[in-house]
């Protein structure tokens, strides 16, 4: 009987020691999770600051683009005559190229016909 009581005492003592280690383990996990939570909160705050700055930068860029567009539209009338001249110049240039290509094709066909007749 005494032997059984000693074994029960040893088992009870082991369970108490295991419970103490388990409680220490839980406290260390709690501390680790608290530090992780603090790090996440700090990162979240930094990301919020960065996103605010990015949003402000995008707003400023949009304002700048609108300002440039308004200024460009206000001086657009100065370039209308140049645009018309450039358009008519390009059309004339294209017509001249087409005319030259037609002449070259005609001369090429004429030369081909002469060479073909001289071989017969």
> Distance between CA atoms of 28 and 44, rounded to whole angstroms?
24
User: What are the CA-CA distances from residue 71 to residues 2, 60, 62, 81, 83 (Å)?
Assistant: 102, 16, 14, 18, 18
**What's the rounded Cα separation, in Å, for the pair 87 and 75?**
19
Q: Provide the residue count of the chain.
A: 120
pTM of the predicted protein model: 0.45
pLDDT in tens, 57-110: 999 999 999 999 988 888 777 766 666 666 666 677 777 778 888 888 888 888
**Three-class SS state of 65:** helix
Over residues 18-50, the pLDDT tens digits come to 999 999 999 999 999 999 999 999 999 999 999
Domain range summary for the chain, segments of one domain joined by + = 1-74, 78-120
């Amino acid at each position: 009987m005494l032997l059984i009581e000693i074994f029960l005492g040893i088992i009870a003592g082991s369970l108490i020691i295991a419970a103490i280690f388990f409680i220490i383990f839980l406290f260390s996990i709690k501390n680790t999770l608290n530090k992780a939570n603090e790090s996440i909160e700090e990162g979240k705050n930094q990301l919020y600051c960065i996103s605010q700055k990015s949003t402000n930068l995008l707003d400023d860029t949009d304002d700048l683009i609108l300002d440039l567009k308004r200024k460009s539209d206000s001086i657009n009338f100065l370039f209308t005559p140049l645009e018309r001249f450039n358009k008519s110049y390009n059309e004339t240039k294209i017509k001249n190229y087409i005319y030259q290509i037609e002449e070259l094709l005609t001369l090429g066909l004429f030369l081909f016909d002469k060479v073909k007749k001289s071989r017969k």
